[in-house]
Amino acid sequence: MTKTPHEILKNVFGFDSFKGRQAEIIDHAIAGGDALVLMPTGGGKSLCYQIPALCREGVGVVVSPLIALMRDQVSALKQLGVRAKVLNSSLTQSEAIEVEQQIRKGLLDLVYVSPEKLLSESFLNLLEQCQLSLFAIDEAHCVSQWGHDFRPEYLQLTTLNARFKNVPRLALTATADGPTRKDITERLDLGSGRLFVSGFDRPNIKYTIVSKEKAKQKLLAFIEENHSGESGIVYCLSRSRVESTAKWLTAEGFKALHYHAGMDKFQRQSNQDTFIKEEGIIMVATIAFGMGIDKPDVRFVAHMDLPKSLESYYQETGRAGRDGLKSNAWLAYGLEDLAKISNFIESSNAGPEQKRIERQKLNALLGYCETTRCRRQVLLEYFNETLENPCGNCDTCLEPVKSFDGTVAAQKALSCVYRTGERFGASYVIDVLLGNDTDRITQLDHHKLSTYGIGKEYSQNQWRSIFRQLVAKRLLQVDIEGHGGYRLGDNTKAVLRGEETVLLREENLSVKTGRLKNKKSGKQKNSVVFDNVQDESLFDNLRAHRRELASEQKVPPFVIFHDTTLVAMVEEKPKTIKEFAQLSGVGKAKLERYGNSFLEIINEIE
């Protein structure tokens, strides 16, 4: 007998109700409709194609560019009793043949494939001989050259509409601005389908941005004070910085691993497996290399370098707190980041139009970094979403930024850039403003300029903050064609004439460098908080049991149960199997497999 979506939601996945627009999307897909689905990370995108695939006849084909993500999702589905397999380059030839035979015989509910495998003529011919429930194109932003993670092979996915006219297609992504959405729709030939846009807000994530001065000390204080013993990701721009940061964190007593495209693939895979399967690991990775993880208990994402756009930032920070528990997004940025990313844009092989869009994206990101408003409001506005009131869970809300009349400071900075020839970077111009006696300044006779030494009322770090803000306000521009020096923007005359006031933010330049004694304790004291020691002890015991089960099966602990389900066990303290079955995240398969052993632990503490 055909199951309804709600029956599958409860019996297989263990949830009582759908979130947001899930039910609407699922009904549309079951009816055979195409759609582009935009839903934030942790919002339940996977259910939007998994449940229709289980409701409709045939096998559901899920296209994903990320091998590790496929593997984790299939492991989780198998725990639920769903017949799912992966088909990609990680399989041996005999394993791949076995999966293809299972598809042909109708023995699978879902198969996760790479775009390369899907688009091979032999596999397309196989699919034409099978009954298909749907196609799900995950990470759909990869099809767009305006997106943050363009993959050329995604462009060929339009063939699905030509060859499988009656099979519904769902394209899903967590991030896409207006141009990217339009591009996805056109390139995947989804013009006749529906657009479903769920809210982009991730209220459980706290957003914090700091200046890059003494970034290591700031990162250390951030982790120690907020996430001792918890899993997190630290993003860096270069491979060498990734490796040195991981080595430094390890020396500081943390369990840190590194991950980038230049590593031996077996070592990279080993590090990723350790990060996913163990708790309390910090992964240091390159921004440009997608990790493809589906780990729900990542408690923080830190950026030691600036991402290239707000889409990238949103996507990367979205890897924190997928389970909905309290998490942090922390970023340190400086003027050098702006110069590097600008250089990447200008030196790329992209056409003029794409470069223009990339510059706009970078300007939007810089504006976000320098805003005095609620960061969440600014971030959501970028995705055409409005948050009426400040969120109360970002640095600018929790510690409102003080502004000051920086018109005179701006005039001094702009004048000094102009008088030094509009060809030097911040460090040199600041040296001139501070009246520093350097060989270079003397050699170029810049100690004779009227702007030499006129900025001594501010420190070097304060001047760097002022320069960042002037770039954000486009009063200064980075000269990419030269050597990364500054030149005046198009709207500086009114400021230099005193006809326009420039408001600047005051930076808190103090850095906490004190060490906390509980750094290595391993307690998840911030994301999961209980009222009493007994509940904390029960939660730790449940996590330990989950860890044992995961180790026996060689799967990540969260595949057994998410932290949110363990929290529900602590709060509800079910005494019977019937009560245990009512917990969120407990479906029939997991109830039969794990119910009694977890109940024993819960009842022991009573």
Let me know: does 574 contact 599? Beta carbons within 8 Å: yes
- Tens digits of per-residue pLDDT, 176-233? 777 788 888 998 999 889 999 888 899 999 999 998 989 999 999 999 999 989 999 9
Model pLDDT, residue 514: 42
Q: What number is the average pLDDT over the span 114-128?
A: 93
Axis crossing angle, helix 47-55 with helix 22-30, rounded to the nearest 10? 40
Which range (412-421, 447-456, 511-520) has the least confidence? 511-520
Q: What number is the average pLDDT over the span 117-139?
A: 94
478 — phi, psi (to 5°)? -80, 125
CA–CA separation, 209 and 504 (whole Å): 16
CA–CA separation, 450 and 418 (whole Å): 11
Contacts of 431 (CB under 8 A, 6+ apart): 438, 441
Element (DSSP H or E) covering residue 477: strand 476-479
Model pLDDT, residue 517: 41
Which range (146-155, 300-309, 429-438) has the least confidence? 146-155
Model pLDDT, residue 421: 94
pLDDT of 88 above 80: yes
CA–CA separation, 219 and 208 (whole Å): 11
CA–CA separation, 316 and 202 (whole Å): 13
**Residue 334's closest CA among 479, 464, 221?**
464
601 — phi, psi (to 5°)? -65, -40
Which range (209-223, 235-249, 461-475) has the least confidence? 461-475
Axis crossing angle, helix 352-370 with helix 335-347, rounded to the nearest 10? 170
Pairing of strands 485-488, 327-333: unpaired
* Residue matched to tokens 């970094």: 369
CA–CA separation, 88 and 125 (whole Å): 17
Let me know: does 11 contact 145? Beta carbons within 8 Å: no
Average pLDDT value over all residues in the chain: 88
CA–CA separation, 426 and 335 (whole Å): 8
CA–CA separation, 193 and 237 (whole Å): 38
Identify the band that residue 481 occupies on the pLDDT scale cut at 50, 70 and 90: low
Model pLDDT, residue 513: 40
**Residue 588's closest CA among 60, 6, 9, 47?**
9
Kindly list the structural domains of the chain, giving each domain's residue range(s) and its CATH number in brackets, ordered by start: 5-197 (3.40.50.300), 205-333 (3.40.50.300), 403-505 (1.10.10.10), 533-604 (1.10.150.80)
Question: What is the DSSP code string of 80-146?
Answer: TT--EEEESTTS-HHHHHHHHHHHHTT--SEEEE-HHHHTSHHHHHHHHTS-EEEEEE-SGGGG-TT
CA–CA separation, 131 and 416 (whole Å): 70
Burial of 531 from C-beta contacts in 10 A (0-12 / 13-18 / 19+): exposed
In this prediction the pTM is 0.77
pLDDT of 445 above 90: yes
**Residue 528's closest CA among 271, 371, 321?**
321
**Residue 196's closest CA among 389, 418, 37?**
37
pLDDT of 147 above 90: no
* Residue matched to tokens 């909905």: 324
> Of 65-69, 149-153, 512-516, 567-571, where does the model show the most confidence?
567-571
CA–CA separation, 439 and 441 (whole Å): 6
Identify the band that residue 511 occupies on the pLDDT scale cut at 50, 70 and 90: very low
Q: What number is the average pLDDT over the span 240-258?
A: 96
- Tens digits of per-residue pLDDT, 400-412? 888 889 999 999 9
Report residue 368 as tokens.
């976000």
294-319: burial string, b at 16+ Cβ within 10 Å, e else: bbbbbbbbbbbbbbbbbbbbbbbbbb
Contacts of 510 (CB under 8 A, 6+ apart): none
